[in-house]
Amino acid sequence: MRSTRIFPGLALPLLVLAAVACSGGDSPTANGTFPSTAFQTFATDKGQLNVELRLSPQPPVAGLDEVQYVVTDMATGAPVDGLDIAIVPWMPAMGHGASVTPILQPPEGNGVYHFTNVSLFMAGEWQLRTKFSGQVTDSAAPTFSVP
């Protein structure tokens, strides 16, 4: 029986290389870390809400990303809690969305809403078609590019 010997100096680099190769770009970041600066700020279609959009990673990458909305009342600037928010990642050029449903995490308060499992599966222009319901009913579709 023949054995294979790995030189001691190569063991750690080979282990790191194997871990990186197995990690793939499609796993969610699931760390809830968002930059302090908004990626984009937009008003909802009826002008009732102001929304700061943050992404993790920012800028976004093709694969699974995370999204944070910080929602404030347009008139008063006060954070808006208690909303039901649904987002659908949509690729206008292709005429379809993702087959994966984003997951809204438990409320964080102070107008902060966090989504995981946001599939931006290929490079190009994307929209986050968003419906707000609860004490405010409104919609928005912020658009951005995934390199």
Is the domain spanning 26-146 CATH 3.10.105.10? The answer is: no
Calculate ∠ Cα 73-141-34, nearest 5°.
Answer: 70
Calculate ∠ Cα 64-115-92, nearest 5°.
Answer: 60
Rounded mean pLDDT, 50-64: 96
Q: If pLDDT is split at 50, 70 and 90, which confidence band does 28 have?
A: very low
Parse the chain into domains and list their residue ranges: 26-146
Closest-CA residue to 103 (of 92, 112, 114): 114
Residue 69: is its pLDDT beyond 90?
Answer: yes
**Dihedral sign of CA atoms 64, 68, 74, 80 in order:** positive
Counting residues of the chain whose pLDDT is more than 90, the rounded percentage is 77
Q: If pLDDT is split at 50, 70 and 90, which confidence band does 27 have?
A: very low
Cα–Cα distance for residue pair 145/82, rounded to 1 Å: 30
Report CA dihedral (21, 118, 120, 35) to the nearest 10 degrees.
-80
Query: In the numeric block, which tokens belong to residue 29?
Result: 């970041």
Of the candidate ranges 22-31, 56-65, 132-141, the one whose mean pLDDT is the lowest: 22-31
Residue 47: is its pLDDT beyond 70?
Answer: yes
- Identify any residues that bridge with 16 across adjacent strands, giving them in sequence order: none
- DSSP strand pairing (138-140 vs 143-146): unpaired
* pTM tops 0.75, yes or no: yes
Rounded mean pLDDT, 87-91: 97
Cα–Cα distance for residue pair 56/102, rounded to 1 Å: 14
Residue 107 dihedral angles phi and psi, to the nearest 5°? -55, 140
